[in-house]
Structure 1
Amino acid sequence: MSDYTFHEVAIADRIATVTMNRPPVNAQTRETREEMIAIFDALSDDPDVSVVILCSATKAFSAGADIKERTGIAATKGDYVRHNRLAREFFYAVADCEKPVIAAINGPAIGAGFALMLACDIMLASEDAWFQMPEVNVGLAGGAAFIMEHFSKSRCRTMYFTARRYPASELYRLGVIETVTPNDALMETAMSYAREIAAKSPMALQAAKRAFGTVAEMPVRDAYRFEQSLTVGLSRTEDAKEAQRAFVEKRPPVFKRR
């Protein structure tokens, strides 16, 4: 893929690795967000990618929004409106990516960095990772919708109103993250999950990702009907027939994306 200023992108064996690299702590600016949107839009469209790993080259996963940048917002009319629109699309470029996204959290995920992690499909963390929603500490409010999807009423409000830090072990206990690994095992663990996913039918993976994103707010009956419609469409594809033949023949499938 193209060269980027704040991210490194590598693709191999149907796995894309997107590495955030804005030292010292991957603080988010307009430029970093615009760049990540472009990256995830491209990966959604890339037929050679089945799964994405989002990780960090710095000591933090992401420390959230760059507060220094915020002091200059609203210098002109409409500036804050544009800023907020970009922030929304930044998170949803990841959440709506047509490929499953694995977050490999190596250190602090704070504020908008925490929300970015929660926008991913599968979350893995190292023992050094910790999480915080400190918006009230800087006189702001945002991100409650992301944490409300994953935590209880009391925990959400405690997390938000106190800005307490929570270790990876606590999020694992609550079932929010998939696993906690030793620091030096994080990326290999993420690759292990990614390799498992990349071996599946690309068309089935995209349909499943679409289903998760669509049925969340639907009544169960309607949601299942929607999923059945996806299954009917998939059943008519060559890849579905190949997956079933391979299962019966006890061999790896060979997918052709049709």
Structure 2
Amino acid sequence: MRVQRDGRLVRATLDRPPVNAFDTAAYRWLTEVCDGMRPDECLLIDAAGRVFSAGHDRNEPADGEGLTLGAGALTAVLRCPAPVVVAAQGPAIGAGALLLAAADVPLIAADAWLSLPELDVGVTVGHGILSRLLPPAVASRVLLTSERVPAEQLAAAVVVPAEELSSAAEGAARVLLGKPFELVSLARRSWGERERAATAYESEVAAFLSRGF
């Protein structure tokens, strides 16, 4: 994992070969990056390699502390003081798909896809964030079926040719940086949908952790 600064543009790159899975350290890294942003900056999150992220690291339990840390990282993205651009190439699975959905400006390569196999790995969370990228009923179906969703079906995302993803993501970040940051910050707060998504996701996590079976 690495962070590069170019003026007010902050690029955070997930680099955990071979599939950029999120472990405890990666979740904490993402949380710290988001918490350290200023309102006048823009955060661009991308990933190295051919896979954006395979989601939660299967070598760590997807319950208890791991789920709590993961939820904290994703809600930190939603509550980041700076606008967030996420650029996804290749598969975006589980937490990787939710990270894309948490962006202000989500970009995805035309040949990429996402899936949420959460029920298959024993968890039930994700709807509150995924509904930012897909209509709520479709988000429900995708979570229940674990089906793949190709980039072309993500109407809320900017779909670009794979070879243009990096430049398109930087261009989107520069557009945001070109606007008065006070207005960008006010808009993101006053619209309220990011906080609603974060709160809904936290409620899902709490319900799952307190399940009675």
Which TM-score applies when normalising by structure 2? Answer: 0.83
Deviations along 1:188-222, one digit per CA (max 9) or x if unpaired, are: 111111111112222222222222336876xxxxx
Q: For the residues of structure 2 that align with 1:58 and 1:150, how far apart are their CA atoms?
A: 23
- The structural deviation recorded for 1:58 is 2.2
* Highest RCO, 1 vs 2 (Cα 8 Å, sep ≥ 6): 2
Q: Which residue does 1:251 correspond to in 2?
A: none
Task: Please state if 1:19 is matched with 2:13.
Answer: yes
Counterpart Cα distance in 2 of 1:166 and 1:207: 33
Q: After the TM superposition, list the runs of 4 or more consecutive aligned residues in structure 1 that deviate by more than 6 angstroms.
A: none
Q: 1:11 to 1:87 in 2, by over 3 A?
A: same
User: SS state of the match for residue 34, structure 1?
Assistant: helix
Match 1:52 to one of 23, 43, 46: 43
Aligned partner letter, 1:137: D
User: Number of residues paired by the alignment?
Assistant: 196
Where 1:63 maps in the other structure, the secondary structure is coil
Larger radius of gyration between Structure 1 and Structure 2: 1
Matched-pair contact (CA < 8 Å) for 1:135–1:142: yes
| Cα separation, 1, equivalents of 2:61 and 2:166 | 33
TM-score, structure 1 normalization: 0.70
Return 5+ residue gaps in structure 2 as ranges. Answer: 197-213
Alignment of 1:90-109 (within 5 A): 90-109=73-92
CA deviation vs aligned residue, 1:18-72 (integer Å, no higher than 9, x gap):
1111111111111110111111111237xxx52111100121111111112118x
Structure 1 residue 139 displacement after superposition:
2.9
Match of residue 84 from structure 1: 67
Q: Which runs of 5+ in 1 are unaligned?
A: 1-6, 74-79, 218-258
Q: Note if contact 1:96-1:213 (Cα within 8 Å) is conserved in structure 2.
A: no
RMSD (Å), alpha carbons: 2.1
Question: Aligned partner of 1:161: which letter?
Answer: L
User: Distance between the aligned counterparts of 1:183 and 1:25, measured in 2?
Assistant: 17
Secondary structure, in 3 states, of the residue corresponding to 1:210? helix
Aligned to 2:127: 144
Q: Which moved more, 1:96-105 or 1:85-94?
A: 85-94
